[in-house]
Structures are given as structure tokens and as C-alpha cells.
């Protein structure tokens, strides 16, 4: 495991000069900026002394004003011509792509994602807005003859109203994009709460939508703690739906509160994703996919390959391959040339990762890596950790760590591998490496996950396909692609008797 940490250029010269310790960023309510006396500092996890700015924290009154602004704008936006909605979203997609380097630098600086991956996330956000621009003019319905003579039935989709959007820190521009874009495309207004660790990307995205021509009140930005913002969004009589991505504990609270108040709810709450490697697999390709899925983006992906399940006949060879590939990964400043793995997002998240690694050792696991890396700053650098010799019920195999930490479980054969893969409360993504058509076909059918990958990493999904899981990973309709319409619209059936 390389212990070398890469360092970036002076952030004050490498980044846009609008960011710095004296820069102030406000909420957006009804088209107007609104600040607050209470502000949070946005720090760079590669170097916490590097402050990107001071960001407003909304109080309850501010959030309620944002909801009211969205409600006031709802009727007008629902009737806004589809071609004009198309133009706004399409322009936003173009602006995001044009500013990909600037936005990627900001994302890497505030979240710690390696710069190339950050740029890929920005371009995905651009593609998402372009896709949903097209959906504004493809919101098709259905006309069918009634079983009753003389009647014709029309089935259409209408906007649901005001949408509360609560997003996590690990994909600070892509996840907001795949929630905001369909909400706007189908004629809804939005109150958007980003994670407190990554307000910069949220502000930049909202600014682009305003520049693209979005009317005031259609998109409202409220930054601040979840216990304040989330409380309003899940209880207000003026909110029609809430979509959330984040932890299981918070998601369960969102589901309970929103459902109790008659608010439609959609949640994505993580995973403990298995990657099965059988003896007939291309082991080098499988090891590459395991390293990619487990450790890229610092392992901070809900689709990460956190449980690697390997049959006994190739276990030792495969583990050796994994360790060889891990040794080539350079940990360092997210914006530095040569960095493969950036920092963990925050000190508290780093402490959580280290606690899980220590617990894995105490339960009998053999840990390779998983050590603090000295990067020349107080950054939250952690070498990727691989835990071998684990049992299926070990904590490292049941809890979502959400860091560059993966475990290996040795099994006898495919049947045991499938049983272990499904032995989890989660069900987001699952993968298998095999050259067998029999086993790959069976795994696609019987893996208890919303997404199944064959001979590919568990992490990664295209912008034009649906996203979501089963069991404890997801609640409500799927996200992304055409499936998003199920959440962001209501069905209407109308009968016509032409006489």
C-alpha cells in the first residue's frame, strides 16, 4: 500500500478566486438571496485549513418561507410551456458541461473526490439535465377504448406539486441533478436541501439553473442542519413529496414523518453490496473490478463492492491479486496529479472508518492497509483496507462502513456464494464474475438486489437507466431515467363521452 500522499497547488491560485474564507453564500428563497447570522465553514478534506467559504444555515422560518415560495410558483410552473422547460434544462446541461473543469475542481476541493472522478460526476450531471430536458416533451399518456360503448379513456401524468429534495455529500452534484432535473421536467417546484458538508456544489448548480432562465420560486435552496430543514419538509402541509438519499437511520425517520403527514416519499439508503468471484472467472479482470468498486471515490459510494465473496479454489490467488493492485493506489490530495484515492470526507467519517477496521481485527479479521496516511496537511487520508479471514456474520460484513474498506468472505461454491450475497438487510447492487452462462443467468435472477452486474464493478450506473434497490436499500419508486416519472407525477384517468 503506497503511503505517499500527493499535494495540490496553492488552493487560492488553483481554484476560482470567488472561493475563500471571506466568501459568503446565501440561501435562495423565491428568487431572492437570503443570508443568516449562523453560517457554516466549508472545509477541504484534503487540507482542512483551506476554507472555501461561509454558507448560510436556514432556520425554521426560512425553510417555511422557501416552501411557501415553491407553493406560490407551483401553478405557474406546471403550466409553463413544455418547450420552454426543455430550453431551460437543456441550457443548464450545456452550462454544466462548459464549466466542467471549474465545477470538478470545486467538487474535489469540498468533497475530496479525485479530480478525474469529480469531472466525470459533473459531466454525468450535464447528461442528466439533457436527458430530462427531452422528457419534458416526451411526457406521453395513453388513450384506450373503454369497455363501455361510446366512452374513451385517457391516462395522463400531471405534476405532483412541491417536492422537498434532501441529498447526501458523496455525490454533491450528480445526485441533486438526478432529483432536481426530473422534478422540474415534469412541472414540479422544488425546495432543495444539500448535505452540510458540500454546500458549494449545490450553490453552483442552483446558480446555473437561475442563469439558464428558471423563474423565481421554482427552485429554492435551503442550506442547514437536517434536524431543522428536514423537519419542515417532512411535516409541512404545503409539501407534496420528499425524496431523500442518505443513511438508513435518517431515511427511516424521513419515511415515518412524511408518511404520517400524507407526503409521498422516496428514499435511497445505502447498501452492503456483494461481488461474487467464481473459480472460472477472469481473475485479473475481477480484481480490477473489485478494486474499482471497493476503493474508488474513497469507497464512499452506496454501490461500493464492500463484500467480496470468493470460492475456495481461487481464494488465495485472488486475494494476492487484490493486494498487488491495492499497492499501486496512491492516496493523496484530491486535486493532485497522480492521486487515485482522495481523502475521507470528514474527520468524523474517518474516525468511523477506523473504528470499523479496529472492530474487524477484534473479531478475527486480518487487515491489510487501513492506516492513516501523512499527506503533509491535517487531511483525512486513509489507505484502502482489505479485511480477509472474515465470517459472514462479522460486523464488517453486516454494517455499511462507507469508506475505503472491503472484506473478503471465502465460500465453497456458487450455491454458498449466492446465499452469502443475499444474507444482508440491504439490496442495492450485486455483482458476479464468471465465464459460466449458467451461473450468470441464475445470479441475475436470484440475486436480491435492484441492480445486478455481470463481469463488471458493482458501482456505476448510466444516466438513462433506472436506479434503486430492494429490502433496506430503497423505499418508493425508482430514480433516474423514465422510471423517475412514477414518483414526480400523479396519474389521471379521464373518460370522454363524445355523445
- φ/ψ bin of 460: left (φ > 0), alpha (ψ from -120 to 50), beta (otherwise): left
Residues forming beta bridges with residue 307, ordered by sequence position: 274, 407
Half-sphere exposure of 198 (CA within 13 A, CB side): 29
E strand or H helix at 33, and its extent? Answer: strand 32-34
Rounded CA-CA distance 97/120 in Å is: 10
Rounded CA-CA distance 309/276 in Å is: 5
Q: Which three cell numbers stand for residue 159?
A: 405534476
Q: Does residue 347 have an active-site annotation?
A: no
Rounded CA-CA distance 293/460 in Å is: 8
Please give the backbone phi and psi of residue 404, each rounded to the nearest 5 degrees, phi first.
-80, 60
Rounded CA-CA distance 29/353 in Å is: 37
- Within 10 A of 358 (CB to CB), how many other CB atoms are there? 12
E strand or H helix at 23, and its extent? Answer: none
Q: Which three cell numbers stand for residue 31?
A: 428568487
Calculate the alpha carbon distances from 190 to 157, 251, 365 in Å.
Answer: 18, 19, 46
User: 135, 203, 302, 410: which one is catalytic?
Assistant: 302
Please give the backbone phi and psi of residue 435, each rounded to the nearest 5 degrees, phi first.
-100, 5
Q: Which three cell numbers stand for residue 293?
A: 468498486
Half-sphere exposure of 430 (CA within 13 A, CB side): 26
Q: Does residue 302 have an active-site annotation?
A: yes
Calculate the alpha carbon distances from 119 to 93, 104, 282, 302 in Å.
Answer: 14, 5, 30, 19
Please give the backbone phi and psi of residue 270, each rounded to the nearest 5 degrees, phi first.
100, -175
Residue 419: strand, helix, or coil: helix
Residue 92: strand, helix, or coil: helix
User: 117, 268, 400, 410: which one is catalytic?
Assistant: 268
List Cβ neighbours of 438 (8 Å cut-off, separation of 6 or more).
Answer: none
List Cβ neighbours of 37 (8 Å cut-off, separation of 6 or more).
Answer: none
Q: Are residues 310 and 281 in contact, defined by beta-carbon separation less than 8 angstroms?
A: no
Q: Are residues 429 and 303 in contact, defined by beta-carbon separation less than 8 angstroms?
A: yes
Give the active site residues. 268, 302
Amino acid at each position: 500500500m503506497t503511503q505517499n500522499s500527493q499535494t495540490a497547488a496553492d488552493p487560492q491560485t488553483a481554484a476560482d478566486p470567488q472561493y475563500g474564507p471571506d466568501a459568503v453564500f446565501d440561501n435562495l428563497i423565491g428568487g431572492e438571496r437570503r443570508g443568516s447570522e449562523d453560517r457554516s465553514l466549508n472545509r477541504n478534506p484534503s487540507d482542512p485549513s483551506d476554507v472555501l467559504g461561509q454558507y448560510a444555515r436556514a432556520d425554521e422560518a426560512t425553510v417555511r418561507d422557501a416552501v411557501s415560495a415553491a407553493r406560490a410558483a407551483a401553478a405557474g410552473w406546471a403550466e409553463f410551456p413544455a418547450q420552454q422547460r426543455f430550453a431551460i434544462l437543456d441550457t443548464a446541461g450545456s452550462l454544466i458541461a462548459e464549466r466542467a473543469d471549474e465545477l470538478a475542481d470545486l467538487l474535489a476541493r469540498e468533497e475530496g473526490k479525485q479530480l478525474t472522478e469529480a469531472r466525470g460526476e459533473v459531466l454525468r450531471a450535464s447528461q442528466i439535465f439533457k436527458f430530462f430536458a427531452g422528457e419534458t416533451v416526451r411526457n406521453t399518456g395513453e388513450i384506450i377504448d373503454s369497455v363501455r360503448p361510446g366512452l374513451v379513456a385517457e391516462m395522463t401524468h400531471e405534476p405532483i406539486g412541491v417536492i422537498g429534495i434532501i441529498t447526501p455529500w458523496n455525490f454533491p452534484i450528480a445526485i441533486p441533478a438526478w432529483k432536481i432535473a426530473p422534478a422540474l421536467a415534469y412541472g414540479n417546484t422544488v425546495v432543495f436541501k444539500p448535505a452540510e458538508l458540500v454546500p458549494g456544489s449545490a450553490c453552483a448548480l442552483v446558480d446555473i439553473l437561475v442563469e439558464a432562465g428558471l423563474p423565481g420560486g421554482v427552485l429554492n435552496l435551503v442550506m442547514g442542519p437536517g434536524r431543522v430543514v428536514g423537519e419542515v419538509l417532512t411535516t409541512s402541509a404545503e409539501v407534496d413529496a420528499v425524496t431523500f438519499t442518505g443513511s438508513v437511520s435518517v431515511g427511516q425517520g424521513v419515511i415515518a414523518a412524511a408518511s404520517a403527514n400524507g407526503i409521498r416519499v422516496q428514499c435511497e439508503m445505502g447498501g452492503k453490496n456483494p461481488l461474487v468471484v467464481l473459480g472460472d472467472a477472469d481473475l485479473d479482470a475481477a480484481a480490477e473490478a473489485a478494486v474499482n468498486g471497493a476503493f474508488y471515490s474513497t469507497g464512499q459510494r452506496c454501490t461500493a463492492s464492500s463484500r467480496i465473496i470468493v470460492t475456495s479454489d481461487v481464494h488465495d490467488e485472488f486475494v494476492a491479486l487484490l493486494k498487488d493492485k491495492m499497492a499501486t493506489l496512491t492516496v493523496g490530495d484530491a486535486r493532485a496529479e497522480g492521486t487515485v484515492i482522495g481523502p475521507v470526507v470528514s474527520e468524523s467519517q474517518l474516525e468511523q472508518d477506523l473504528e470499523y477496521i479496529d472492530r474487524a481485527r477484534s473479531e478475527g479479521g486480518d487487515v491489510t492497509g487501513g492506516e492513516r496516511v501523512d499527506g503533509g496537511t491535517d487531511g483525512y487520508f486513509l489507505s484502502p483496507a482489505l479485511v480477509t479471514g472474515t465470517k459472514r456474520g462479522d460486523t464488517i460484513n453486516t454494517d455499511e462502513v462507507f469508506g475505503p474498506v472491503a472484506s473478503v468472505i471465502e465460500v465453497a461454491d456458487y450455491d454458498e456464494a449466492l446465499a452469502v450475497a443475499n444474507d444482508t438487510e440491504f439490496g442495492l447492487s450485486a455483482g458476479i464474475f464468471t465465464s459460466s452462462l449458467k451461473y450468470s443467468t441464475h445470479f441475475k435472477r436470484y440475486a436480491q438486489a435492484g441492480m445486478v452486474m455481470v463481469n463488471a464493478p458493482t458501482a456505476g450506473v448510466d444516466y438513462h437507466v433506472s436506479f434503486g434497490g430492494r429490502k433496506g436499500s430503497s423505499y418508493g419508486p425508482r430514480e433516474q431515467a423514465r422510471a423517475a416519472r412514477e414518483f414526480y407525477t400523479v396519474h389521471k384517468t379521464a373518460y370522454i363521452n363524445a355523445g
